Amino acid sequence: MSEIGNYFKGIFSGLKTLFQGMTVTGYYFRNARKEIITQQYPDNKATLRMYDRFRGIVVLKHDENNLHACTGCSACEIACPNGSIEIIAPRLEDPETGKKKKVINQFVYYYSMCTLCNLCILSCPTDAIIMDQTFEHAVYDRSLLTQILNKPGSKLDPNVKE
């Protein structure tokens, strides 16, 4: 008889926990938010606005004179846990001072390896890179996800301290 009693006790215990869970679900169902949270994408492409905290791809900021603030210090490259940033910056002699300093040749960003963790942005001492708000990056060829972030002919802003 104790086996049958334990059997029915287990059934009633299961029904009790099911009722408790359904009570919580019913509460949230009755007290749901009234505003629309879900974006009806792609129907609302024209009015879609991403939230301020959204992390898109990494972008190297350039001004209207094609100047950037990246000194080539490689802090973002070191901070990246996946190696999705590669800075190719050979040391060249500065004609004004005669000292060798890094000059960015290419700022390579591998979006296919990026986890959008934002560590590179936080580690940049000159705030040269930001996370963009774009999110449509679907491609059929993975090699298209590799980008050169510095624009052709771009140079270091002379006002940036190294």
**160: confidence class by pLDDT, cuts 50, 70, 90:** confident
Is 42 a member of any domain?
Answer: no
Spatial CB neighbours of 113, under 8 Å, sequence gap ≥ 6: 82, 83, 84
Residue 16 has φ and ψ, to the nearest 5°, of -65, -45
The average confidence (pLDDT) of the chain is: 89
Is 121 a member of any domain?
Answer: yes
Is 33 a member of any domain?
Answer: no
Domain count for the chain: 1
pLDDT digits (tens, 9 = 90+) for 68-88: 999 989 999 999 999 999 999
Instruction: Provide the whole-model pTM.
Output: 0.70
Q: Which residue has the higher pLDDT, 47 or 19?
A: 19
Is 7 a member of any domain?
Answer: no
Listed range (67-81, 91-105, 109-123) with the worst mean pLDDT: 91-105
Listed range (1-5, 19-23, 59-63, 138-142) with the worst mean pLDDT: 1-5
**100: confidence class by pLDDT, cuts 50, 70, 90:** confident
**22: confidence class by pLDDT, cuts 50, 70, 90:** very high
Is 80 a member of any domain?
Answer: yes
Length of the chain equals: 162
Given a cut of 70, whether residue 56 has pLDDT beyond it is: yes
Q: Is 127 left (phi over 0), alpha (psi -120 to 50) or beta?
A: left
Q: Report which of 141, 76, 144, 152 is spatially closest to residue 110, judged by C-alpha positions.
A: 144
How many CA atoms lie less than 13 Å away from 99 in the CB half-sphere?
3
Is 113 a member of any domain?
Answer: yes
Is 6 a member of any domain?
Answer: no
CATH code of the domain in which 101 resides: 3.30.70.3270
pLDDT > 90 in the chain, percent: 55
Is 118 a member of any domain?
Answer: yes
Q: Which domain holds residue 120?
A: 58-156
